[in-house]
Structure 1
Amino acid sequence: MLLEFKMKNYKSFKDECVFSMKVAPKQKGLDYSILSEKIGRNVYKGLSSAVIYGPNASGKTNIIGAMETFKHIVLRGNIRNVEVKDSPNAASSALELIPNNTLNTVEPVDLSIAFTDGGLLFEYAMSLDLGRFLDRDHERKVLKETLRVNNTTLFVREAATLEIGDMTVVEPYLVSAYIQNAKGAAALAESSLHDEELFLANGFKTMFSAKLPSAITQWLDKSFVVIYRSDSMQLVRKFSEPKKRSVFIEKTLNEAAALFGVNSNALGYVLDGEHEEAQLCSIFNRNSKHAAIPVELFESYGTIRFINLFPLVLRTLREGGILVVDEFDASIHPMALMNIITLFHNDELNTHNAQLVFDTHNPIFLNSNLFRRDEIKFVDRDDETHCSTHYSLSDFGTAGAKGVRLSEDYMKNYFVDRYGAIKSIDLAPIIRTLMNDNNKE
């Protein structure tokens, strides 16, 4: 369960941005959407969903991009660029794109996450010297790195120094060699620190505990699903017998697609006998023979998006992960999306603390019957500094002139600019000038 993600000096977010999935205090209504997990004597409560609003170019996607970039850095264990670009998020492989472009001096890039998994609370943070914007030749350094488990600090790495904390809280996860020679392991680990490598993924993993870093990377890889650009989302299936020409039709996918409106044909994965990856096709039964057409040649863009999205939703609910999607609602009918959202709010169905986070321009979700105030997030960008800020509807409180009460019309208030994160656009002057210039010519 994701509790919090923080970033600073990431693209348009020059100052610290705290994206919280923690339950805000004194919020009433929609209590059924609250997730809860007990770890030791503490109970941690999280939101099952969050929706992010803001005008174009405000920085909404940068929050999602920062999450994906953080994930990629931890999984590869270093802050070097990679040539293989497996994501449309260029900043995850070319880190010189990360620092805020308005800064004239080198400032650290800070990224951190707090989440629960397997009965443990993880808090992992890093502070990176990546140079200035577009400075690819800068000598990068991990300035600081911290790991806390169950509110106990395990290590603090600051540049070339390392401080090992109280390991007794995670004793079952430690390697036997460390238990026998704790001081020697700490000294050896400090001497082997590398400026561009994360201590978590290297020294800590080999000398202290392989299980804890593995738990973190497994959660990031399998449970923390971040779709940076929804139009690039494509579900890929692999099968154990790629050399066998076959057609696989999944019942659940087709039942969901039928509700969505796909009922004149079946959807299936076609293996050509040469590749492990199967192609998603529309399957037609003609004269007792199957004809397969690639979905992009027959189905609408909205249908294809739903087909690719639904299995991710299903897996997230079944396994208790978090699904973060940029422009989740693009080309999909609002009623279908609202139904997906209510799945995450349903205590009987969402039994594994699954979470959904997405950004949108559709005001239909600004509804007190669908989202709590602390689940409604905003991103705004200053026209003078060009820097983004992030806040929640719950930050307005419930009293005073700027207070937001449960009975209010959130959508109406948004369009009259009570919450910010909205921008009036008038293209008429540009068109008028262009038309006048044409008339003069």
Structure 2
Amino acid sequence: MIYSFGANNYFSFKDGFQVSLEFNSKVPKSISNSRKVSTILGIKGGNASGKTNILKCLQFLSYFVARSFNQPPEGPLFLNPFFTSKKPTDIYIDFESNGIRYIYELSATKTKVIREAIYKKISRKTLIIERKNDELKSRVAELSDLDLITLRSNASLVDTALQYNMKGLGQDLHNIKSFFHKFKGNVSSLGVMEDSYVYDYNVISEYYYKNNDALEFAKNIIKSCDLGISDVEIFETENEKGEPRYFPMFLHPFELNGSKSEKLTYWDESDGTTALYRRLYQYWTVLTSGGALIMDEFDTNYHPALLPQILDLFINKETNPKNAQFIFTSHNLEIMDYLGKYRTYLVSKESGESFCYRLDEIPGDIIRNDRSISGLYRDGKLGGIPNL
């Protein structure tokens, strides 16, 4: 689980940002659900305020920590500072993986790592490994085998070390890489990706065909949202090369000339239904793996009444037994009333520089339980709105 994360000199955040998902003692149990960390977090703000940059930070960490060794040795880091700043970008994340809490810190430019460090938090915060540039400067005794590896300026220490398949490294590096491998969503290190790039219709259909629990999960939500659908079936056929191909059919019941139902293809369905079909595959994989789903404008193509149902999947311990987290942006105003002040961040921008804050950080009693948050936001009393 992610406890908090942040960055300095990162895209539009010149002086940095810090986002916390931790609940303090003031949070009602009806909100915390007896958890110490929130499993949902909404980010609001005007267009181009910097909302997506916060999500890009998480996906950059996912790529860099777990997959950066796959890049060519001379490749870039996909890391952008504030405009033309020559200073390094600093990023950190405080998280828990397999019951162990870690802090990961990175200082880097567009082309190379300046510093990388990992801390382990048990009874106290303990540095377990640190690099500066391409040299290993510190490590605990259990990681002595790392003295033998060659670090690359554009690849993480974690991903590089695990390429050597050393048996004496213990579990910490594996825990960390596994954690970042479980980040999913529609955001890359550099921006938002179209559904057509993120979701492969054929791969998703095959997955549903071979995983009945996942199909039932998606089917039940689709049926509750599309009043014209009573069932979804996945069929197997072959393409012109004799290779297996999978496709869904959506059953629509009706009464006409003795016929009581008709099956429609994916291409005959509404944008909202096909969006659900695609994206619920990713919701399912994150909920069952305990990862993090990072979505920009997750409500696109969805009716507003559906949004609480999606969020409930992550709040309810029965549907989210592994404490998966959902971090997203949305332009829907009413979602703020559902999230409340402890699970909503606002992002504003002044003179090209972004800054953000959680609603419970606003001083005074302007936000009360008997007052609509969306109404206050709409009236410009909380900030984070476009200047129209």
Same fold (TM over 0.5): yes
Partner of 1:408: helix, strand, or coil? coil
Q: Does 1:149 align with 2:132?
A: no
Aligned residue among 164, 168, 193 for 2:151? 193
Look up the match of 2:57.
66
Shift of 1:147: 0.8
Q: Does 1:388 align with 2:379?
A: no
The 1:186–1:261 alpha-carbon spacing in structure 2 relative to 1, beyond 3 Å, is: closer
Aligned residue among 345, 349, 357 for 1:377? 345
Shift of 1:395: 0.9
Query: What's the C-alpha RMSD, in Å, of the aligned pairs?
Result: 3.5
Q: Does 1:53 align with 2:38?
A: no
Look up the match of 1:119.
99
Q: Does 1:311 align with 2:281?
A: yes
Q: Does 1:28 align with 2:27?
A: yes
Aligned pairs for 1:330-341 within 5 A = 330-341=300-311
Q: Does 1:220 align with 2:180?
A: yes
Q: Give the fraction of aligned pairs with identical amino acids, expressed as a percent.
A: 23
Aligned residue among 50, 64, 81 for 1:99? 81
Look up the match of 1:7.
7
Aligned pairs for 1:178-327 within 5 A = 182=144, 185=145, 187-189=147-149, 192-203=150-161, 206=164, 209=169, 211-222=171-182, 224-228=183-187, 229=192, 231-232=194-195, 233-234=198-199, 236-237=203-204, 250-261=215-226, 263-264=228-229, 266-273=231-238, 274-275=242-243, 278-282=246-250, 294-295=265-266, 297-327=267-297
Comparing 205-214 and 108-117, the one that deviates more:
205-214
Unmatched tracts of structure 1, length 5 or more: 37-44, 84-92, 131-139, 168-173, 426-441
**Letter of the aligned partner of 2:57 in structure 1?**
A
Partner of 2:383: helix, strand, or coil? coil
Larger radius of gyration between Structure 1 and Structure 2: 1
Look up the match of 1:406.
369
The 1:409–1:291 alpha-carbon spacing in structure 2 relative to 1, beyond 3 Å, is: closer
The 1:81–1:411 alpha-carbon spacing in structure 2 relative to 1, beyond 3 Å, is: farther
Q: What is the rounded CA distance, in whole Å, between the counterparts of 1:55 and 1:81 in structure 2?
A: 37
Q: What is the rounded CA distance, in whole Å, between the counterparts of 1:202 and 1:230 in structure 2?
A: 27
Q: What is the rounded CA distance, in whole Å, between the counterparts of 1:213 and 1:124 in structure 2?
A: 11
Q: What is the rounded CA distance, in whole Å, between the counterparts of 1:163 and 1:262 in structure 2?
A: 61
Partner of 2:22: helix, strand, or coil? coil
Asked if the contact 1:248/1:268 (under 8 Å) is kept, the reply is no
**Letter of the aligned partner of 1:57 in structure 2?**
A
Asked if the contact 1:33/1:346 (under 8 Å) is kept, the reply is no
**Letter of the aligned partner of 1:28 in structure 2?**
V
**Letter of the aligned partner of 2:3 in structure 1?**
L
Asked if the contact 1:249/1:269 (under 8 Å) is kept, the reply is no
Q: What is the rounded CA distance, in whole Å, between the counterparts of 1:156 and 1:79 in structure 2?
A: 22
Shift of 1:31: 3.6
The 1:204–1:61 alpha-carbon spacing in structure 2 relative to 1, beyond 3 Å, is: same
The 1:194–1:221 alpha-carbon spacing in structure 2 relative to 1, beyond 3 Å, is: closer
Comparing 226-235 and 358-367, the one that deviates more:
226-235
The 1:239–1:346 alpha-carbon spacing in structure 2 relative to 1, beyond 3 Å, is: closer
Asked if the contact 2:344/2:358 (under 8 Å) is kept, the reply is yes
Count of equivalent residues: 365
Q: What is the rounded CA distance, in whole Å, between the counterparts of 1:359 and 1:411 in structure 2?
A: 15
Shift of 1:217: 2.0
Asked if the contact 1:230/1:328 (under 8 Å) is kept, the reply is no
Asked if the contact 2:69/2:156 (under 8 Å) is kept, the reply is yes
Q: What is the rounded CA distance, in whole Å, between the counterparts of 1:269 and 1:119 in structure 2?
A: 38
- Describe the superposition over 1:156-193 as per-residue Cα deviations: whole angstroms up to 9, x where unpaired: 111244333445xxxxxx5xxx6xxx4xx46545xx33
Q: Does 1:19 align with 2:15?
A: no
**Letter of the aligned partner of 2:42 in structure 1?**
V
Aligned pairs for 1:77-96 within 5 A = 77-78=68-69, 80=71, 95=77
Partner of 1:391: helix, strand, or coil? strand
Aligned residue among 329, 334, 359 for 1:359? 329
Look up the match of 1:133.
none
Shift of 1:360: 0.9
Partner of 2:222: helix, strand, or coil? helix
The 1:299–1:96 alpha-carbon spacing in structure 2 relative to 1, beyond 3 Å, is: same
The 1:79–1:17 alpha-carbon spacing in structure 2 relative to 1, beyond 3 Å, is: farther
- Describe the superposition over 1:235-289 as per-residue Cα deviations: whole angstroms up to 9, x where unpaired: 633759x9xxxx999344323221111544643444443456644454689x99x
Asked if the contact 1:35/1:47 (under 8 Å) is kept, the reply is no
**Letter of the aligned partner of 1:109 in structure 2?**
T
The 1:258–1:99 alpha-carbon spacing in structure 2 relative to 1, beyond 3 Å, is: same
Asked if the contact 2:298/2:328 (under 8 Å) is kept, the reply is yes
Shift of 1:2: 1.2
